[in-house]
């Protein structure tokens, strides 16, 4: 996150009185909605153009059909993805990211950036015992 954006965000958070309980609840809500091993990779896959179930599944190494189905249902319930059944033969189902999902796109990009930096750091500097 660039410095100006970061400072603006810090000012917004600090502008109102801090309430630890409220902040923890907000963090827990966010983690509940996008947490877990597969939800962010699913969102990333959909945002990269994979719309059909099998395409999403193939783009995420290690995910099971059952887990993808479960997480897509949860994400649909939380308004992160939209499920559209197309009147084709056979029936085609497509998933798309909602505007609500895209609203935290910058956060996901920052997480990807941080994850890459973290991986580099850990590889370069092994943990001391």
Into how many domains does the chain fold?
2
Alpha-carbon gap, residue 64 to 46, rounded angstroms: 16
Mean pLDDT, range 15-39, rounded to an integer: 88
pLDDT at site 1: 53
Instruction: Read off the pTM.
Output: 0.77
With respect to residue 129, please indicate whether it lies within any of the assigned structural domains.
no
Please say whether the dihedral angle defined by the alpha carbons of residues 26, 32, 33 and 39, taken in this order, is positive or negative: positive
Closest CA to 81 of 55, 52, 59, 61: 52
Do residue 7 and residue 48 come from a single domain? no
Do residue 47 and residue 30 come from a single domain? no
Do residue 5 and residue 53 come from a single domain? no
Owning domain of residue 74: 37-124
Mean pLDDT, the chain, rounded, equals 91
Do residue 2 and residue 44 come from a single domain? no
Mean pLDDT, range 43-56, rounded to an integer: 96
Question: Sorting pLDDT into bands at 50, 70 and 90, what band is 126?
Answer: confident
Question: Sorting pLDDT into bands at 50, 70 and 90, what band is 96?
Answer: very high
pLDDT beyond 70 at 102: yes
Do residue 53 and residue 73 come from a single domain? yes
Do residue 59 and residue 99 come from a single domain? yes
């Amino acid at each position: 996150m660039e410095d100006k954006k970061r400072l603006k965000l810090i000012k917004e958070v600090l502008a109102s009185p801090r309430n630890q309980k409220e902040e923890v609840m907000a963090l827990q809500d966010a983690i509940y909605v996008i947490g877990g091993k597969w939800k962010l990779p699913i969102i990333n896959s959909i945002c990269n153009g994979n719309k059909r179930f099998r395409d999403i599944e193939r783009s995420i190494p290690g995910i099971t059909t059952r887990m993808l189905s479960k997480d897509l249902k949860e994400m649909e319930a939380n308004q992160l993805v939209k499920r559209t059944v197309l009147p084709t033969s056979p029936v085609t189902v497509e998933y798309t990211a909602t505007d609500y999902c895209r609203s935290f796109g910058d956060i996901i990009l920052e997480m990807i950036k941080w994850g890459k930096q973290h991986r580099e750091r850990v590889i370069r500097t092994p943990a001391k015992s």
